[in-house]
Amino acid sequence: MTAIQTEDLTKFFGDFCAVNGLNIEADKEIFGLLGPNGSGKTTTVLMLTTLLTQDRGTASICGYDTRKDPDKVRSSISYVPQDMAIDTNLTGRENMLFFAKLYGVSNPRDRVDELLEVMELSSRADDLAKTYSGGMRRRLELAEALVHEPEVIFLDEPTLGLDVAARKKIWEHIHALNRKGMTIFVTTHYMDEADRYCDRVGIINHGMIAVLGKPAELKSHLMKDVISVIVNGEYVPVDLEGVLFVGQSGDELSFTAENGREALPTLADALSRAGNSIRAMSLREPTLDDVFLQSVGKQEESTGFEEWKYRLMLRRR
């Protein structure tokens, strides 16, 4: 039995197709769903957690159909949303006990004490959550999500806004959960985290999976060196044999070449002759950022699900 499985999963908001024929599987691994804003990540998570109903296709969690057996799905999972899900006017322990009682956990105080210890929050358990740092609040949310011992946990941008040390600590806990056999489904904009911590990743673009696989495999498929170029002003395109323009992030351009060391001076000359003002150039091996840029291309900002909610709110006024 596969922990997470979808077949042709599709969702429309009016005439906007947010998720289009999604086919993914994940089982006892850390699976990362990556993509630009409006690509369908949040909509996918909401369907998998039974908070939205798909328009076409199927999804199952631990063998339970999300549409036919939503209660059984919910008893098998936890979902930690991007927005804060704790009451800052309660203590950490009170937040935990509230969730334990909601889930009908037997011996809730013992379970709460156990998880507070696991998440390294015992010493602050009786302090108000409003006094916690961002990293501590995120660890408390993770502890809440584990109180009923789910088989699958969904984490939406679990380290967003945290400093480097707090991000590392969160991922240490996520890895510990996975080592115990839990399936982790995570969305993130941090490519370095996905590269380092996820067993497999899927990059979604316009509601469809563009690439899917292990980070190392996806990077190796580029089979080329990456030349990064920092320019002043607007990029003036160049056409150079053997050199492929991958994408642009801010003022940084990315190109790939079979032999980057040989191509670098030729590219510099071509860019200058075309009128580009070069500030810096560097040569490196491919990263997951390069895979991402090549998969999604240059994006026009889209808010997808959030835009649909805003339009719906206006119609109801």
The range of the structural domain enclosing residue 252 comes to 223-285
One domain, residues 83 and 212: yes
> What is the reported pLDDT for 295?
87
Q: What is the DSSP string of 129-175?
A: GGGS-HHHHHHHHHHHHTTT--SEEEEESTTTT--HHHHHHHHHHHH
Is 10 among the domain residues? yes
One domain, residues 91 and 176: yes
> What is the reported pLDDT for 231?
94
pLDDT of 6-29, one tens digit each? 999 999 999 999 999 999 999 999
> What is the reported pLDDT for 296?
85
One domain, residues 199 and 274: no
One domain, residues 59 and 188: yes
One domain, residues 266 and 151: no
> What is the reported pLDDT for 313?
47
pLDDT of 219-241, one tens digit each? 888 767 899 999 999 999 999 99
Residue 304's pLDDT band (cuts 50, 70, 90): low
- % of the chain surpassing 90 pLDDT: 76
Which residue is associated with the tokens 């292990």? 214
Give me the CATH number covering residue 62: 3.40.50.300
What whole-number distance in Å separates Cα of residue 279 and Cα of residue 90? 52
Average pLDDT over residues 90-95: 97
Is 159 among the domain residues? yes
DSSP state of 127: S
Is 298 among the domain residues? no
One domain, residues 77 and 148: yes
> What is the reported pLDDT for 246?
84
User: Which uninterrupted H or E stretch holds 247?
Assistant: strand 243-249
Long-range contacts of 166-169 (CB under 8 A, 24+ apart): 166/133, 166/134, 166/135, 166/138, 167/135, 167/193, 169/120, 169/135, 169/139
User: Which uninterrupted H or E stretch holds 117?
Assistant: helix 108-118
The last residue of one of the domains, among 171, 190, 217, is 217
One domain, residues 11 and 97: yes
Overall domain count for the chain:
2
Is 308 among the domain residues? no
One domain, residues 97 and 234: no
One domain, residues 213 and 142: yes
Is 124 among the domain residues? yes
Is 197 among the domain residues? yes
Q: Is the pLDDT of residue 117 over 60?
A: yes
The last residue of one of the domains, among 184, 200, 217, is 217
Take residue 79 and report the two structure tokens written for it.
């979902």
One domain, residues 199 and 147: yes
> What is the reported pLDDT for 85?
83
> What is the reported pLDDT for 308?
52
pLDDT of 29-45, one tens digit each? 999 999 998 899 999 99
One domain, residues 139 and 178: yes
One domain, residues 8 and 131: yes
What whole-number distance in Å separates Cα of residue 65 and Cα of residue 60? 4
Average pLDDT over residues 109-118: 95
Is 244 among the domain residues? yes
